[in-house]
């Protein structure tokens, strides 16, 4: 048993490696061969997929997985008293992520082969996608916040590189920079949170912090001296800031719609399986910390922040999504909105519901993105077929839903799978996965609001219900504009179904989008509850927590209510768009809403606000203040000052050198030379002169020794 | 008997003439001859001192003979040098022989 656990931990540790190795191989060796590139990428993800499946199904068989997770760790970096550790952890939450992430990614990789065919940078695409996948898998199997953060940041880089994949398009590289800069705001705060937590507890291991009641209690009771919060609350809020950036929540949501500039499989990858899920996953993962803060200092502040940001984002993004005409942008806003749902669920303590929605959403959102990619692909080819693309006509946007229409007949597989995804997104009752997960969130909010009478769940419930109506509306609008009615452009009229490498993943994902919800049917649900027995997902994932969360007692009211909400949204959308499909050139009926439509279409002017409040002052500061004052005056001034000082010091030294050092050296030489010049006159070369001196000398001595004593004697 | 002093005065005069000749003559041969004069002045005083002071000892004569031998060798070497200089420079005027001038 022990032995088996070790083997499983080893297998888990291997999961992130194949895509990482594939990344290296593709970038180094395979970047000329397209077929080899995608074979390596898909093969590596397939290996990871198989490994994850083995780990997942083995994990299911372990009793009390939450208490005895598959885990192993090794010391990695010795700092301070305790080394930072690397390790893997598969608890129930990790296990379901391990099931979902590689599966969805594999579908996206296979799909990319069809979608990216013919792109000149095909290999770069697969290399980056593999690295992205490796980072996500690292994040999922990580057993500590540091490893999680490493995966997190690598993904941040990959998303930057992939959003700006078509870097020759100015909008693409701007979007890439925007995404990177915006998420950076959250990431910095998150890193602060990680450092803070490490400073307080001395460990970053999930199991050590989150399943240790004493640590949690200490953290909850220690004041952080910031806004009256406990350490637990402050740390979870800082970590949550990372999620706000990564999962594109208000106020850092602006990057995600622009991220649609990347290739569609990237959108699916970022917005379904990986990056945005990573944000929510982290918040769900750190839920016990948030919960611990509840009973400590500062009370429920952290919960309020998380829930309100989530619920408000869910509502706001849904309203923005209503007025978009770009097929991918609608999905982007729906993603932001659905992520808001999950965080709102975390904020009201509906831990399992949040995880459930995370999983189902990943399936149907990947499906929707890939479906929209299929549509865009078809529109581009249709445009080509219709004899365009030779200049002389107005610019053609394959993403514009007003140019589409009538694609249901031309692309049946895409249509039916997209329909399944759309209904799951809207939460169509009973037969879609989205219904079950969304219903669980609304049910928990309803339970808190009306049966316990708390204020926060009531607010959350109202905002989420409004968002749900809007979700139904824009989903129907999207489906109707894209697939129903008559083609509104030659491109749409000439569109054709995408190749099998693209439709097969759609079908597989559609199955999950429809059936995936049945793992979490509430026990008390009429007929179906009895059919499926206990609520498997709740039982399983709930085990991650120290204290098994209780599912609220089954109540028919919220179920009926959420069904009605979803149906009313869909019906409203159908009423406006499907009953009488739009003709070519006809404006969107929503335009009649006037200023409201303009407001929504311009995304509440938040982007413009940021542009004026942050971007332009920053640019101004950069150009005027930093470039001119700091760079030219301070830095250049300092450098020139140093240069001048050194220059004059050099001058002084040169003077010293010339006058003193050279003076002495030359002086000695010159003196000897001058002496020689004077003395050479003595050496006449005439022997008689010398002899004369000798004679005079002798005479001198004679005088000295004979005459002088005689003179002295007188 | 003629006193010693006279001999010594003659020798000193001879020596001074020799010195003058060495210092003042321009002809190298003449200089050699002046040197001979100086040597013989010394010989004269040596012999005089022997005859007047120590007639029983042969030291003065022996020295005089030595000087004669050395003078002969000197004359031979000096003449050879002068001939050699003459062959090279076609002059024996010492005013013109100043190759070692600084």
CA dist., res. A350 & res. A674, Å (int): 104
Q: Contact at 8 Å (CB) between A97 and A78?
A: no
Query: According to the model, what pLDDT value does residue A641 have?
Result: 93
Its ipTM equals 0.85
Q: Decide: A321 and A333 in contact? Cβ < 8 Å.
A: yes
Q: What is the C-alpha to C-alpha distance for residues A395 and A550, in angstroms, rounded to an integer?
A: 56
pLDDT of residue A272: 66
Shortest alpha-carbon distance between residue A703 and chain B (Å): 17
Q: Are A504 and A602 in contact (CB under 8 A)?
A: no
Q: Give the A:B interface size as CB pairs under 8 Å.
A: 33
Residues of A in contact with B101 (CB under 8 A): 683-686
Which member of A685, A692, A695 has the closest CB to residue B101? Answer: A685
SS3 A549: coil
Q: List CB contacts (< 8 A) between B19 and chain A.
A: 695
Give pLDDT, residue A388. Answer: 55
Say if the Cβ atoms of A682 and B101 lie within 8 Å: no
Selecting from B19, B24, B95 the residue whose C-beta is nearest the C-beta of A686 gives B95
Residue B65 falls within a domain, yes or no?
A: yes
Q: Is A680 on the interface with B (CB under 8 A)?
A: yes
Q: Mean pLDDT over all residues of chain B?
A: 91
Query: What residue in A sits closest to B31 (Cα-Cα)?
Result: A688
More confident residue, A346 or A272: A346
- Pair of tokens at residue A550: 């209780």
| Cα–Cα distance for residue pair A436/A432, rounded to 1 Å | 7
From residue A655, alpha-carbon distances to A628, A659, A702 in Å are 37, 6, 56
Residue A387 has pLDDT above 70, yes or no: no
pLDDT digits 0-9 by tens, B18-28? 999 999 998 99
Is B63 among the domain residues? yes
User: What would the mean pLDDT of A363-386 be, rounded to a whole number?
Assistant: 85
SS3 call for A484: coil
CB contact under 8 A, A679 and B98: no
Place of tokens 């950036």: A245
pLDDT at A701: 93
Q: What is the per-residue pLDDT across A182-219, written as a single tens digit (0 to 9) for each?
A: 888 889 999 999 988 888 888 888 888 888 888 888 88
Question: A713 to chain B nearest CA, in Å?
Answer: 25
Residue A698 Cα, gap to closest chain B Cα (Å): 12
SS3 A39: helix
- Which residue from A232, A227, A199 is spatially nearest to A215, judged by alpha carbons? A232
Determine what percent of chain A is predicted with pLDDT higher than 70: 96
| Residue among A680, A681, A688 minimizing CB distance to B94 | A688
Question: Is residue A261 predicted with pLDDT exceeding 70?
Answer: yes
Indicate the number of domains in chain B: 1
Question: Shortest Cα distance from A651 to chain B (angstroms)?
Answer: 42
Mean model confidence pLDDT for chain A: 84
Nearest-neighbour CA in chain A from B71: distance (Å): 19
Average pLDDT over residues A655-684: 90
For residue A685, CA distances in Å to A142, A443, A481, A648, A703 come to 101, 128, 122, 54, 28
Mean pLDDT of A117-124: 83
| Distance between A693 CA and the closest CA of chain B, angstroms | 10
* CB nearest A685 (choices: B24, B31, B100): B100
Q: Residue ranges of the alpha helices (H) in A62-169?
A: 92-115, 122-141, 145-163
Cis peptide bond prior to A151, omega within 30° of 0: no
User: Could you tell me if A334 and A353 are in contact, meaning their C-beta atoms sit under 8 angstroms apart?
Assistant: no
pLDDT band, residue A2 (cuts 50/70/90): low
Q: Is residue B66 part of a domain?
A: yes
H and E: helices and strands count for chain A: 33, 2
CA distance A271 to A329: 11
Flag whether residue A687 sits within 8 Å of chain B, measured between CB atoms: yes
- Closest Cα in chain B, distance from residue A690 (Å): 9
A677 touches chain B (CB under 8 A): no
Asked if residue B18 is part of any domain, the answer here is no
Sole residue written with tokens 């020759």: A168
| Nearest residue in A to B99, CA atom | A685
Partners of residue A699 in chain B, C-beta under 8 Å? none
Q: What is the largest CA-CA distance in chain A?
A: 160
Between CA A344 and CA A332 the distance in angstroms is 18
C-alpha distances in angstroms, A585 versus A393, A459, A667? 16, 41, 99
Structure tokens at A107: 């579908």
The pLDDT tens digits of the residues spanning B36-95 come to: 999 999 999 999 999 998 888 888 899 999 999 999 999 999 999 999 999 998 888 888
**In the prediction, which pLDDT does A328 show?**
86
What is the CB-side half-sphere exposure of residue A116 using CA atoms within 13 A? 27
Alpha-carbon gap, residue A158 to A615, rounded angstroms? 23
Mean pLDDT computed over A370-375? 88
pLDDT of A393 higher than 60: no
Residue of B nearest to A677 (CA): B102
Are the C-beta atoms of residues A473 and A569 closer than 8 Å to each other?
Answer: yes
**A637: how many CB neighbours lie within 10 A of its CB?**
13
* Contact assessment for residue A165 and residue A218, using Cβ atoms and an 8 Å cutoff: no
Under the banding of pLDDT at 50, 70 and 90, the label for residue A1 is very low
Whole-angstrom Cα distance, residue B32 to residue B20? 12
Selection from A20-29, A224-233, A440-449 with the highest mean pLDDT: A20-29
Quick check: B101 and A684 CB within 8 A?
Answer: yes
Range of the domain at B84: 26-92
A311-362 pLDDT, tens digit each: 999 998 888 888 888 888 888 888 889 999 899 888 888 888 888 888 888 8
The two three-digit tokens of residue A35, written as one number: 């077929």
pTM: 0.74
Residue B32 lies in a domain: yes
Q: How far apart are CA A308 and CA A460, in angstroms?
A: 7
pLDDT band at A227 (very low <50, low <70, confident <90, very high): low
> Would you call A683 and B95 a contact, using CB atoms and an 8 Å cutoff?
no
Q: Please list, residue by residue across A330-366, b when 16 or more beta carbons sit within 10 angstroms of its beta carbon and e when fewer do.
A: bbbbbbbbbbbbbbbbbbbbbbbbbbbbbbbbbbbbb
Task: Indicate the pLDDT class of residue A523, thresholds 50, 70 and 90.
Answer: confident
Q: In this predicted structure, what is the pLDDT of residue A653?
A: 93
Q: Which of A383-397, A413-427, A519-533, A633-647 has the lowest mean pLDDT?
A: A383-397
pLDDT for A673 equals: 93
- Whether residue A392 is predicted with pLDDT greater than 50 in this model: the reply is no
Least confident of A22-31, A225-234, A608-617, B86-95: A225-234
Is A682 within 8 Å of B95 when comparing Cβ atoms? Answer: no
Please indicate, yes or no, if residue B8 is contained in any of the structural domains.
no
Q: Is residue B10 domain-resident?
A: no
Which chain B residues touch A if contact means CB-CB below 8 Å?
Answer: 19, 22-24, 31, 94-95, 97-102
Bridge partners (DSSP) of residue B93 are B27
Mean pLDDT, residues A459-464 taken together: 88
Per DSSP, A534 falls in state: S
User: Which pLDDT band, with edges at 50, 70 and 90, does A568 fall under?
Assistant: confident
More confident residue, A19 or A84: A19
Residue B6 lies in a domain: no
């Amino acid at each position: 048993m022990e032995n088996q656990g070790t083997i499983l931990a080893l297998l888990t540790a291997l999961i992130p490696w194949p895509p990482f190795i594939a990344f290296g191989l593709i970038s180094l060796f395979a970047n000329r061969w397209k077929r080899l590139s995608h074979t390596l990428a898909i093969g590596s993800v397939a290996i990871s997929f198989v490994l994850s499946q083995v780990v997942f199904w083995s994990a299911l068989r372990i009793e009390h997985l939450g208490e005895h997770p598959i885990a192993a760790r090794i010391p990695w970096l010795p700092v301070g008293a305790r080394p930072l550790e690397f390790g893997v952890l598969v608890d129930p939450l990790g296990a379901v992520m391990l099931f979902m992430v590689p599966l969805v990614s594999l579908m996206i990789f296979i799909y990319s082969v069809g979608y990216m065919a013919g792109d000149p940078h095909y290999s770069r695409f697969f290399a980056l996608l593999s690295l992205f996948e490796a980072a996500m898998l690292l994040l999922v199997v990580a057993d500590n916040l540091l490893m999680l953060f490493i995966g997190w940041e690598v993904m941040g880089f990959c998303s930057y590189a992939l959003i700006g994949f078509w870097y020759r398009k100015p909008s693409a590289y701007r979007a890439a920079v925007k995404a990177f800069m915006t998420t950076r705001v959250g990431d910095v705060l998150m890193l602060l949170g990680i450092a803070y937590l490490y400073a307080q507890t001395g460990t970053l291991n999930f199991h050590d912090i989150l399943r240790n009641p004493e640590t949690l209690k200490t953290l909850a009771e220690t004041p952080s001296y910031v806004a009256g919060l406990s350490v637990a609350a402050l740390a979870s809020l800082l970590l949550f800031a990372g999620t706000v950036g990564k999962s594109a929540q208000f106020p850092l949501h602006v990057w995600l719609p622009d991220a649609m500039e990347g290739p569609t499989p990237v959108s699916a990858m970022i917005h379904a399986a990986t990056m945005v899920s990573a944000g929510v996953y982290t918040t769900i993962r750190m839920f016990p910390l948030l919960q611990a803060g509840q009973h400590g200092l500062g009370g429920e502040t952290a919960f309020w922040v998380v829930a309100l940001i989530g619920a408000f984002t869910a509502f706001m993004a849904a309203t923005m999504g209503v007025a978009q005409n770009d097929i991918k942008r609608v999905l982007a806003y729906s993603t932001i909105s659905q992520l808001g749902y999950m965080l709102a669920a975390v904020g009201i303590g509906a831990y399992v519901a949040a995880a459930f929605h995370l999983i189902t959403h990943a399936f149907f959102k990947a499906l929707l993105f890939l479906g929209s990619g299929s549509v865009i692909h078809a529109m581009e080819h249709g445009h080509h077929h219709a004899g365009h693309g030779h200049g002389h006509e107005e610019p053609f946007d394959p993403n514009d839903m007003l140019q589409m229409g009538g694609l249901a007949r031309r692309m049946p597989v895409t249509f039916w799978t997209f329909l399944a995804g759309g209904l799951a997104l809207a939460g169509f009752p009973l037969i879609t996965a989205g219904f079950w997960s969304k219903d669980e969130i609304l049910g928990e909010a309803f339970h808190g609001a009306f049966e316990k009478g708390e204020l926060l769940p009531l607010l959350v419930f109202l905002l989420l219900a409004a968002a749900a109506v809007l979700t139904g509306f824009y989903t129907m609008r999207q489906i109707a504009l894209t697939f129903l009615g008559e083609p509104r452009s030659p491109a749409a009229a000439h569109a054709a179904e995408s190749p099998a490498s693209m439709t097969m993943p759609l079908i597989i994902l559609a199955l999950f989008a429809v059936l995936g919800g049945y793992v979490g049917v509430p026990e008390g649900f009429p007929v179906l509850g009895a059919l499926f027995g206990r609520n498997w997902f709740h039982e399983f994932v709930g085990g991650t927590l120290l204290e098994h969360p209780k599912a609220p007692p089954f109540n028919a009211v919220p179920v009926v209510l959420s069904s009605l909400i979803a149906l009313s949204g869909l019906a409203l959308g159908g009423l406006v768009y499907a009953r009488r499909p739009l003709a070519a050139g006809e404006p969107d009926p929503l335009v009649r809403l006037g200023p409201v439509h303009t407001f929504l279409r311009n995304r509440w002017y938040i982007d413009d606000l940021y542009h004026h409040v942050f971007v332009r002052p920053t640019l101004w500061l950069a150009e005027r203040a930093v470039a001119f004052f700091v760079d030219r005056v301070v830095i250049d001034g300092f450098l020139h000052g140093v240069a001048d000082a050194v220059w004059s010091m050099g001058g002084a030294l040169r003077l010293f050198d010339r006058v003193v050092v050279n003076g002495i050296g030359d002086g000695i030489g010159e003196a000897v030379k001058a002496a020689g010049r004077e003395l050479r006159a003595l050496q006449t070369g005439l022997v008689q002169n010398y002899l004369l001196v000798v004679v005079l000398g002798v005479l001198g001595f004679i005088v000295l020794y004979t005459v002088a004593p005689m003179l002295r004697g007188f | 008997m003629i006193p010693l002093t006279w001999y010594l005065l003659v020798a000193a005069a001879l020596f001074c003439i020799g010195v003058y000749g060495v210092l003042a003559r321009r002809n190298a041969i003449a200089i050699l001859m002046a040197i001979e004069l100086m040597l013989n002045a010394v010989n004269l005083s040596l012999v005089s001192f022997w005859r007047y002071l120590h007639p029983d000892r042969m030291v003065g004569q022996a020295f005089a003979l030595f000087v004669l031998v050395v003078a002969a060798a000197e004359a031979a070497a000096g003449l050879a040098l002068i001939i050699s200089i003459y062959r090279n420079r076609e002059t024996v005027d010492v005013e013109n022989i100043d190759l070692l001038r600084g």
